[in-house]
Amino acid sequence: MKRFQSPGSLQSWCLQKRLENNPIALVPTMGFLHAGHVSLIRKARKAAGPTGIVIVTLYVNPTQFGQGEDFDAYPRDLKRDLAICRSEGVNAVFTPSHGSMYASPYSTYVNETLLSRQWEGIQRPSHFRGVTTIVSKLFLLTQPHVAVFGEKDFQQAMIIRQMTRDLHFPIRILLGPTLREKDGLAMSSRNAYLTENQRGQATVLYQMIQLARKELRFDPHRKWTSSRLGSVTQKLLQATPLIRLDYMAFVDPHTLQQAKTIRKGIRMLLAAYAGKTRLIDNGSL
């Protein structure tokens, strides 16, 4: 497994691999890998084929963190991440420095302006600008045929798809399903922040998604409005005082616009706080 720290060296290597007609699959991550990331790596390997190239990036990107967010505290374990990548047959990892990715003075950003205007975009105003900027840079450096992202960050995945289309990146975007712990909590690097009590109550987000699905299956002919279904599911929060809901939305999965009435395929988005830890989850109804 090759490890690159220089953007130029990575780009030269990837260009050579493309000239040799090697399929390239990219998995961008911020490291502190868990089973959800491993599932994306395996999806990338399947897409690239046994002789293709799988590249994993391990980089905590500063531009997607707002003021007062957890950039400095974000969990990191590079040694473990490299071992996981090696065991999964990853061909190359990219672990750049901040100076190499954002050489001073730095003033160029990529900004998606439609799908990012709501939900996470309101709560974290500069977040998606940082995401689209770093993903664009990684696309240009690695020249992948395929890039793999997780559905847990559903809005982010839709924004990346939009950006890829709008900027004519010749890249196929693949999405991997949200992986969950045995009790339903969506796997996330930030789960490491949770206290034992917070961890026990954090499963309420998935319980809310399950309840919404159950209500819709119980009476599929009943006309459910977003507000009514939201009221029903929010009752679960009464038993979880350590979880503070930030927002809940029922959205069209393509436009991310709030749906007034619920129909099959509507995506339920949830964001909440457990202390200072921000949790997100989503599910298709």
Domain end marker among 116, 144, 176 = 176
Q: What is the predicted pLDDT for the residue at 254?
A: 94
CA distance 22 to 100: 26
φ/ψ of residue 159, rounded to 5? -65, -40
Banded model confidence at residue 59, pLDDT cuts 50, 70, 90 = very high
119 neighbors 253 (Cβ within 8 angstroms): no
Say what the pLDDT of residue 222 is.
Answer: 75
User: Which of 87-101, 158-172, 194-208, 209-223 comes out lowest in average pLDDT?
Assistant: 209-223
Separation of CA 181 from chain center: 17
Kindly state whether residue 182 falls inside one of the protein's structural domains: no
Are residue 108 and residue 199 in the same domain, yes or no? no
Q: Is 34 a catalytic residue?
A: no
> What is the number of structural domains in the chain?
2
141 & 201 share domain: no
Give the separation between CA 19 and CA 100, rounded to whole angstroms: 25
Same domain, 195 and 168: no
Q: Which amino acid type is present at position 16?
A: Q
CATH for 132: 3.40.50.620
176, 202, 232 - which closes a domain: 176
Q: Does the bond joining 105 to the residue before it have cis omega, within 30 degrees of 0?
A: yes
Residues 168 and 236 in one domain: no
CB neighbourhood size of 98 (10 A): 14
| Catalytic choice (37, 127, 145, 254) | 37
Q: Write out the residue range of the structural domain in which residue 13 sits.
A: 2-176
Is the residue at 69 inside a domain?
yes
Taking CA atoms, 105 is separated from 73, 89, 108, 173, 194, in Å, by: 25, 37, 10, 31, 37
pLDDT above 90: residue 112: yes
In a domain, 181, yes or no: no
26 with 154, same domain?
A: yes
Helix axes 78-87, 35-48, angle to 10 degrees: 40
- Kindly state whether residues 267 and 207 are assigned to the same domain: yes
DSSP string, 148-170: EEETTSHHHHHHHHHHHHHTT--
> What confidence category does residue 42 fall into, taking pLDDT thresholds of 50, 70 and 90?
very high
- Residues 32 and 161 grouped into a single domain: yes
Are residue 152 and residue 242 in the same domain, yes or no?
no
User: Quick one: average pLDDT of 38-56?
Assistant: 97
Residues 142 and 269 in one domain: no
d(CA 201, CA 194): 10
pLDDT digits (tens, 9 = 90+) for 70-99: 999 999 999 999 999 999 999 999 999 999
Residues 124 and 76 in one domain: yes
Residue 141: which H helix or E strand, with range?
A: helix 127-142
What's the confidence (pLDDT) of residue 220?
Answer: 65
Q: Calculate what percentage of the chain has a pLDDT beyond 70.
A: 99
